[in-house]
Amino acid sequence: MTFIMGMQSGISQKVGDAPPSTNLDVARELAGELASQIGDLLVQQDSGSVLLSVYPKESAWYVEDAIRRGLAEHRLHVIALGQASYIAEFGLRAFRVEYSDIRRVGWFGSKIMNRRVTLQLTTRVVDTQSGAIIGPSELTGERVDTIAVSDLGMVENPNLPATRGRLPEEGLFANVVEPLIAVGAIAVAVFLLFHVRS
């Protein structure tokens, strides 16, 4: 059983606004929202304590706290050791960042691009009293927004390869036509300058 959550927002920033969320922050928000879906299922059964484990330890540590907060939103007591009403295991299956559609705002405005952050978690939640498995076995969250190309260094974390995406090709217009327009505009300006002076 798979639960898929998709979110889409518009342009994340305009000139002068606050900087966009980092890719890592978006992944943490998604993790918290996905865990909250599981928490909602658990409180429908019976609120209680949850013994939480997040795997793999070496790469999932950056979403573990967000998962813990997502469960705790539903008045569930989340613990790392001991007896609990539920045993919840979350596995970080995928964390991807993709950029697409580089374009300019206006003719010579700043460059913007679409950003898609996808987080996939596997889950196994067991009711310790009945032994029943609760909820979906896989959760997928996605957020799509638009960011400025100049903010790329700000939204990626150089120490976490998963937060980095590949910049797409800009296409014929950006590589050929835009430089030709700029050179043509400069040539016309120089011609007019000398023509008016003489």
Q: What is the pLDDT of residues 142-164, one digit of tens each?
A: 999 999 999 999 999 999 999 99
How high is the pLDDT of residue 16?
47
For residue 137, what pLDDT band results from cuts at 50, 70 and 90?
very high
pLDDT at 13 exceeding the cut of 50 = no
Mean pLDDT, rounded, of the chain: 84
Residue 127 host element (H or E): strand 111-127
Q: Across residues 39-62, what is the average pLDDT?
A: 88
Rg over alpha carbons for the chain, rounded to the nearest Å, is 24
How high is the pLDDT of residue 43?
84
**Domain positions in the chain:** 2-167, 169-198
| Count of all residues that appear for the chain in the document | 198
Closest CA to 154 of 1, 50, 26: 26
pLDDT at 177 exceeding the cut of 60 = no
For residue 14, what pLDDT band results from cuts at 50, 70 and 90?
very low
- Enumerate the β-bridge partners of residue 126: 87, 133
How many other β-carbons are positioned within 10 Å of the β-carbon of residue 181? 13
Closest CA to 119 of 152, 143, 146: 143
pLDDT at 187 exceeding the cut of 80 = no
How high is the pLDDT of residue 9?
45
Looking at per-residue pLDDT, the higher value among 193 and 179 belongs to 193
How high is the pLDDT of residue 44?
78
How high is the pLDDT of residue 47?
67
pTM value is 0.78
73: Cβ–Cβ under 8 A, 6 or more apart, which residues?
36, 39
Looking at per-residue pLDDT, the higher value among 173 and 89 belongs to 89
Q: Across residues 25-35, what is the average pLDDT?
A: 97
Whose tokens are 């835009």? That residue is 178
Q: Across residues 30-52, what is the average pLDDT?
A: 89
Per-residue pLDDT reduced to its tens digit, 62-116:
999 999 999 999 889 999 898 999 999 999 999 999 999 999 887 778 899 999 9
